[in-house]
Amino acid sequence: MTVSKGLIAKIERFSLHDGPGIRTLVVTKGCPLKCRWCSSPYTQSAKPEILYLMSGCRSCGNCVTACPSQAITQDDASASVKTDRAVCIGCGACVSACPNSARELCGRHYTPEALFSEVEKDEAFYRRSGGGVTLGGGEPSMQAGFVRAFLSLCQSHLMHTVMETCAQAPWETFAPLLDGLDLVYIDLKHMDAKRHSEWTGVSNRIILENMQKAARQNDMIVRIPVIPGFNDSEENISQSAAFVKSLGERVLRLELLPYHLLGAHHYAALDRDDALSTLQPPLEEHMERLCGIARSFGIETEIGG
């Protein structure tokens, strides 16, 4: 069977927070959700994009000359450059032309075999630490055929496999991916469908259904990104914990992930406004209180992941 190439945003080696042991994190590009608090907006689009690192720009104008689609212009007075994102085709010509590494191509195509060759370089570290390969995003299920072929290669070499997912996919697409996983992380954003839709762009119906089905066959860790003003009420955490408890014994633990400000610079690199730029992380005391509520349901719960 011929499988098309997959679009990968980046590959992070020696990851310690995306599954057991030392891992290689493969970040896929493209996501069906548009979460307001997203800390990695460069993974949302299913197309290659150019990241503009303003601090490194010396306004030399090489990118303007190199751009084949004339998407980059330079102001005569200030010498600052601007990219028309609607015109940019993400070809990377400006990246190659920049002498100061102020531009970065986010999104490269790999065949399953080429991607496996990349992660295989770290195999010795997996063996020693009990680690493996983690697929994240974005949302891996948006490239289901490619992901299945890649996971099959990892399994054939006895590599431990993990996927981080929002679970927003048809079950017939999602289920075959679960067969290639040793562990799955699933985000639980909110228990109220309307509220979920307002903040992510989609209902939570399919997500909750997929979590129930996945918990029957896969070891699972559920993550709740705790966003002030969205899902950090005691009522929502209680409802979420009750749902997680109902999933059964294959849920290994619940992780409460406090909102952070580490993704702010990614919006600037995409010439986008951060919708939650003024939002502050939840207080430690509040996180401890929410953690206590979740634990009261008999679920192993921790703050952070």
Distances (CA, A) of 212 to 36, 172, 228: 25, 14, 26
What is the C-alpha separation between 274 and 155, in angstroms, rounded? 39
Rounded to two decimals, the pTM is: 0.93
The three-class DSSP label of residue 232 is coil
Do 6-46+109-303 and 49-106 have matching folds?
no
User: Which class does domain 6-46+109-303 fall in?
Assistant: alpha beta
CATH code at 49-106: 3.30.70.20
What is the C-alpha separation between 144 and 61, in angstroms, rounded? 40
The DSSP symbol for 45 reads S
Distances (CA, A) of 213 to 145, 171, 188, 210, 217: 20, 9, 15, 5, 8
Task: Kindly tell me if the per-residue pLDDT of 1 is higher than 70.
Answer: no
Six-digit token string for 89: 């085709």
Per-domain boundaries in the chain: 6-46+109-303, 49-106
Average pLDDT score over residue span 110-121: 96
**pLDDT on residue 78:** 83
Average pLDDT score over residue span 206-226: 98
**pLDDT on residue 2:** 54
